[in-house]
């Protein structure tokens, strides 16, 4: 390939200048202009300039080092030429090309930026002969530049949008502008970008960005590189904005892409869509209000559903019954004063339903004052919840080893009610050493703030053999929530963290989807977490499952169940909060048919292998191609995002799942026997051994 990096001796050199850097005579300058005017293509222009200014070979690391050593001198001469020849755009373009190439080196890049490189570059966007060159310089600089450079260039985004709109019939202009916009705006809106300069992110008119980019994608089918850069750009542009409908539909349709990076980026983008307007999830209810509502009969259609599930297993029945049982137990305690027996009863209530221990106290009419007052019965507590630690102590004092779990259940419940989660977690960890099959202790661990540990505990807890339905479903909905949230978070980051990340993200989402299905099939229909699990279920089925028709008929069962879950909420007097998850789910279901209509073909086509990797270069863009290839030998590619597309291989997901509890994690330990199956830890491996033993020996022999 011809280019400034490979000078040929066949062409005439600008004689007399090569060894005389101080030459500034007008005759020499005239000969430079003539050489530039005669040069055939940008690579020749740059060659002429490199010779004239006696620059080292800037395509090599050693050449850039020489530039470094003599930077001020070189820059002064180039700058003088740029400013002295205001009408010669070829000369200016050549100089900007040289600067862009120097930008591969971080120190030179910073020096050039400080000296106003962008102010020299951007005017060239309006010069027809220089536009591609200037845009290519921007893609190169943003490709190699770190986040500061990308953020700096994102301040010029309006110029890029203007060019995109003005030259919307030139595929190369579209491609290069969108690549640059993508590099810069994604950086400005990244976590680090927002931390470094929150005002910059807020100043961007994302509605304009998303709208302009989607308009450009409606043109004849673009190149691979354009699709790869558009998807993350549209996905971040939905943040903080009233995203244009076409852009939202693009993200919804993208959920069905065969390319998993495309798919996952869209899912991440859809989650940002409703972030600002969403209400917080008020799943913490006032139990007294809830019980008053439950004492009214359920509407007939809900009653039929409760009946077919079995009234006595339903949440509402268990809540009411347990409230009564608890009252009775507390009253009996006045007579028996037996805290041990009370404790054993409370432990059973706690494992039965969520609102098992209500706040109450013994009260009586004081005939002297005529008021109801606390009654002193000589018990060691006044508030009923304060009975719990005394009951735990009484159970332990009784000394039956088989009852140790019950004492812990009662004490941990007390600590949870007092919001002392870390103290409850301490007890749970000690208890699990004693009894690894202690489901409620795992449940307590799911309440801790570390989501990774929480998910792991939930997955292990679900596998416990000695477990009540309440504790099991409680952990299952935690597992759906936590795996779902972590999966989305990993996918939102995966663009900037490379290849492996998205597979890990899918493993989390797959785990969430599996648990959501079990939960929906088996949990009580009036369980208050049902809605949330259905939101995840519907979203993840669209994003993960293979066959979803444009009319989403496969989802109708889940959609119907969600309607019922909403009716249950309304029955107990709590209208479903408009959470981020709920709104996202609604957007996806509502727009899916239209999205398939508008973008279905585009999405299908984008993952085909016969798509051109980039739009064709014209002959005049030969330097642009040279810039596009710019990288130094041995240089780490700090581009920061993957341009590879990814097809789905479900076998890979197994690398991220524990073979026993199915916990998704990137930090599993391989079985030492076969080095194939993976586990959270020795406990999971031990539990799985009975089932795995055979396969392990077989695998070992086979490999």
**Residues found near Zn ion in the complex (CB under 5 A):** 658, 660-661, 663, 671, 673-674, 677, 680, 684, 696
- Nearest-approach distance from CB 144 to Zn ion, in angstroms: 10
**What dihedral angle (degrees, nearest 10) is formed by the CA atoms of 125, 129, 135, 136?**
-160
Look at phi and psi of residue 552 and say left if phi exceeds 0, alpha if psi is from -120 to 50, else beta. left
Smallest gap, in angstroms, from Cβ of residue 621 to Zn ion?
18
> What's the DSSP call for residue 141?
H
**Minimum CB distance to Zn ion smaller for 246 or for 615:** 615
- By beta-carbon proximity to Zn ion, the closer residue of 626 and 660 is 660
Would you tell me how many other CB atoms lie within 10 Å of the CB of residue 588? 24
Closer to Zn ion at the Cβ: 251 or 495?
495
Contacts of residue 290, defined as CB under 8 A and 6 or more positions apart, other chains included, come to 319, 355, 572, 573, 574
* In the complex, least distance from residue 503 CB atom to Zn ion, rounded to whole angstroms: 18
How does DSSP assign 475-507, residue by residue? HHHHHHHHHHHHHHHHHHHHHHH-HHHHHHHHH
Write down the least CB distance from residue 135 to Zn ion, Å: 13
CB of 674 to Zn ion, least distance (A): 3
Rounded to 5 degrees, what are φ and ψ at 657? -125, 135
DSSP classification of residue 664 = B
What is the number of other CB atoms lying within 10 angstroms of the CB of residue 264? 31
- 669, 657 Cβ separation under 8 angstroms: no
Give first-to-last CA distance, the chain, whole Å.
Answer: 47
Tokens, residue 433:
């050493």
Q: Which is nearer to Zn ion, 226 or 314 (CB)?
A: 226
Our CB check for Zn ion shows the closer of 346 and 696 to be 696
Residue 24 CB, nearest distance to Zn ion (Å)?
Answer: 40
Q: How far is the CB of 622 from Zn ion (least distance, A)?
A: 21
Compute the least distance from the CB of residue 678 to Zn ion, in Å: 9
- Give the integer Cα–Cα distance in Å for 191 and 159: 25
Query: Is 82 in contact with 93 (CB distance < 8 Å)?
Result: no
C-alpha distances in angstroms, 285 versus 271, 294, 389, 572, 621? 25, 13, 24, 10, 65
Dist. CA 519–CA 525, nearest whole Å: 10
194 or 674: CB nearest Zn ion: 674
> Helices 499-522 and 530-544, interaxial angle, to 10°?
130
For residues 141 and 555, which CB has a smaller minimum distance to Zn ion in the complex?
Answer: 141
Question: CA 140, CA 627: separation in Å to the nearest integer?
Answer: 6
CA of residue 402 relative to chain centroid, distance: 44
For Zn ion, the closer CB: 47 or 230: 230
Q: Which is nearer to Zn ion, 372 or 670 (CB)?
A: 670
Report the nearest approach of Zn ion to the CB of residue 699 (Å).
6
C-beta of 574 vs 674, nearer to Zn ion: 674
Q: Quote the least distance from Cβ 431 to Zn ion, whole Å.
A: 19
Q: How far apart are the C-alpha atoms of 695 and 701, rounded to whole Å?
A: 10
């Amino acid at each position: 390939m011809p280019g400034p990096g490979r000078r040929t001796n066949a062409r005439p050199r600008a004689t007399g200048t090569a060894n005389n850097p101080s030459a500034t005579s007008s005759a020499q300058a005239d000969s430079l202009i003539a050489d530039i005017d005669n040069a055939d293509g940008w690579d020749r222009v740059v060659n002429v300039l490199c010779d004239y200014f006696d620059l080292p070979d800037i395509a090599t690391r050693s050449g850039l080092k020489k530039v470094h050593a003599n930077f001020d001198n070189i820059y002064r001469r180039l700058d003088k030429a740029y400013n002295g020849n205001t009408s010669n755009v070829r000369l200016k373009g050549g100089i900007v090309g040289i600067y862009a190439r120097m930008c591969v080196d971080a120190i030179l890049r910073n020096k050039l930026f400080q000296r106003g490189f962008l102010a020299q570059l951007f005017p060239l966007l309006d010069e027809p002969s220089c536009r591609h060159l200037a845009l290519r310089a921007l893609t190169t600089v943003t490709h190699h530049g770190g986040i500061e450079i990308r953020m700096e260039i994102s301040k010029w985004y309006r110029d890029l949008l203007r060019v995109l709109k003005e030259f919307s019939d030139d595929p190369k202009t579209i491609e290069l502008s969108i690549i640059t916009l993508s590099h810069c705006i994604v950086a400005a809106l990244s976590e680090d970008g927002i931390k470094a300069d929150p005002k910059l992110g807020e100043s961007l008119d994302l509605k304009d960005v998303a709208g302009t980019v989607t308009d450009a994608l409606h043109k004849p089918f673009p190149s691979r590189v354009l699709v790869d850069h558009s998807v993350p750009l549209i996905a971040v542009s939905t943040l903080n904005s009233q995203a244009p409908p076409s852009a939202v539909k693009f993200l919804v349709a993208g959920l069905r892409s065969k390319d998993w990076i495309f798919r996952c980026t869209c899912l991440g983008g859809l989650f940002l869509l409703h972030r600002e307007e969403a209400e917080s999830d008020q799943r913490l209810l006032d139990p007294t209000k809830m019980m008053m509502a439950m004492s009214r009969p359920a509407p007939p259609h809900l009653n039929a559903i409760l009946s077919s599930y079995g009234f006595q297993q339903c949440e509402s029945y268990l809540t009411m019954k347990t409230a009564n049982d608890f009252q009775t137990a507390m009253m009996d305690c006045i007579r028996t004063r037996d805290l041990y027996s009370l404790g054993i009863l409370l432990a059973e209530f706690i494992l039965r339903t969520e609102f098992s221990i209500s706040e109450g106290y013994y009260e009586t009419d004081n005939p002297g004052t005529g008021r109801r007052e606390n009654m002193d019965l000589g018990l060691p507590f006044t508030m009923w919840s304060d009975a719990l630690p005394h009951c735990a102590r009484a159970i332990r004092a009784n000394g039956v080893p088989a009852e140790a779990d019950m004492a812990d259940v009662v004490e941990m419940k007390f600590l949870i009610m007092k919001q002392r989660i870390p103290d409850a977690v301490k007890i749970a960890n000690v208890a699990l050493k004693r009894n690894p099959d202690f489901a409620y202790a795992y449940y307590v661990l799911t309440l801790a703030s570390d989501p990774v540990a929480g998910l792991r505990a939930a997955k292990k807890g679900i596998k416990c053999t000695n477990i009540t339905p309440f504790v099991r479903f409680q952990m299952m909905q935690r597992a759906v929530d936590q795996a779902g949230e972590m999966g989305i978070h990993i996918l939102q980051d995966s663009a900037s963290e490379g290849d492996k990340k998205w597979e890990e993200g899918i493993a989390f989402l797959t785990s969430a989807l599996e648990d959501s299905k079990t939960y929906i099939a088996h949990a009580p229909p009036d369980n208050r977490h049902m809605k949330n699990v259905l939101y995840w279920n519907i979203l993840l089925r669209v994003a993960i499952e293979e066959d979803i028709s444009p009319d989403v008929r496969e989802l109708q069962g889940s959609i119907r169940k969600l309607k019922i879950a909403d009716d249950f909420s309304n029955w107990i007097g709590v209208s479903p909060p408009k959470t981020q998850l709920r709104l996202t789910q609604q957007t996806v279901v509502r727009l899916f048919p239209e999205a398939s209509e508008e973008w279905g073909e585009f999405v299908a086509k984008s993952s085909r292998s016969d798509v051109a990797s980039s739009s064709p270069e014209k002959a005049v863009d030969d330097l642009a191609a040279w810039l596009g290839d710019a990288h130094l030998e041995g240089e780490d590619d700090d581009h920061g995002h993957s341009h590879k597309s990814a097809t789905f291989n479900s076998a890979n997901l197994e690398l991220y799942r524990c073979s026993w509890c199915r916990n998704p994690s990137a930090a599993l330990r391989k079985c030492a026997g076969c080095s194939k199956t993976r586990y959270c830890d020795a406990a999971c491996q031990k539990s799985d051994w009975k089932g795995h033993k055979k396969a392990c020996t077989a695998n070992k022999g086979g490999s």
